[in-house]
Amino acid sequence: MPSDQFSPYKDTFVNTNGPGDQRPTALQVVKDNDCIGQWSGKVVLITGATSGIGLETARAIHATGADLFITARNTDKAQEVIEDIQSTSGGKRKIETLEVHMESLESVKNAANEFLAKSKQLNVLINNAGVMATPETKSEDGFELQFAVNQLAHYTMTSLLLPTLVSSSTPGFKSRVVHVASSSHRYRTFHWDNFNFTGEYDPFLAYGSSKTAQIWTSNYVDRKFGPRGVHSLAIHPGGIWTNLLAHAGEEQIKQWKSNVELSRCMQSAEQGASTTVWAAVGRVWEGKGGKYLADCSITSPTENLTDALNSGYAPWVYDEEAEGRMWNLCAELTGVMTD
């Protein structure tokens, strides 16, 4: 691995040339951290792992030799994905599916309880599932859909699994939580006064608000549970042409693809999963957390909140008061609290 431990691949993110260029894949990150086949006895859970970067995250993690749980809406599709991963990752350990509909808090709670019935151990939780720029829609529980799926569902899953993450932490490997956030958190800070965006819905602003909430939750988990052996990181995966963009609309996607500079920054799904996997397996993160990562690197603050090519974070990302307030709001809305 290159010598700059907190930005090990920085040279590969210069002069990028689109998907499949010199930037690392998730599997390369696993190899560079000497984790191929070395995680026997560890347990990892990934939400939303049947397509896109979630699938490639699962494939790379399975190569470590860990036991793997993935969540999916469609168990038939999940079985196809499992067979695909098992035939390509080189990993030999089991992969199990937890059926979950992230827009339903009851479904999320059931999936968490199903996991706990199957495993008394959890070393890494990767909160990857998400929706983006959806038409105005309410979840089964009456919340704006992006806030419900991206934030409330993952808050619920994390809270219910935190006791197991704490008990699974060891002196040699502290438990980890990885939140797949987005640079789109810069669209706006959290909309405290109207988090359902009632009467003022904008799909991209609602998405940004939900991603700000995720980052705050990650920071809170690290600060409050780090002393108990659970560390948390939030990441921006970068640009990837995946189904996550489906709701942006054909015209918007066409406009993005016609931008040569933007197209050169886009990655394959295998590359897009690299920062997630770096946060999950990177040796440099042992016993550390509370950071926002992008391009397999710790990012810097930026005042340029609208530049899609800028991976920096907004001024409001690190705010202990807001982080605690978000945790308490989610506890109130979901009825789930972990101290």
Q: Which of 201, 207, 313, 318 does the annotation list as catalytic?
A: 201
Name residue 316's amino acid.
Answer: W
C-alpha 173/C-alpha 171 separation (Å) is 6
Could you please report the per-residue DSSP string of 149-161? IIIIHHHHHHHHH
| CA angle, 327 then 330 then 336, to 5° | 100
Decide: residue 304, CB within 10 A, 0-12 exposed, 13-18 middle, 19+ buried: exposed
Alpha helices in the chain (DSSP H): 26-32, 52-62, 75-88, 105-118, 145-146, 153-168, 203-225, 250-258, 260-265, 269-272, 274-281, 320-334
Whether the Cβ atoms of residue 297 and residue 10 lie closer than 8 Å to each other: yes
Beta bridge partners of 233: 178
Whether the Cβ atoms of residue 231 and residue 175 lie closer than 8 Å to each other: yes
155 is catalytic: no
β strands within 14-57, DSSP E: 43-46
Look up residue 32 and give its two tokens.
Answer: 């560079």
SS3 at position 101: coil
Place of tokens 């003022």: 200
C-alpha 190/C-alpha 316 separation (Å) is 9
Nearest to 180 by CA among 232, 142, 247: 232
Tell me which DSSP letter residue 7 carries. S
Active-site residue list:
201
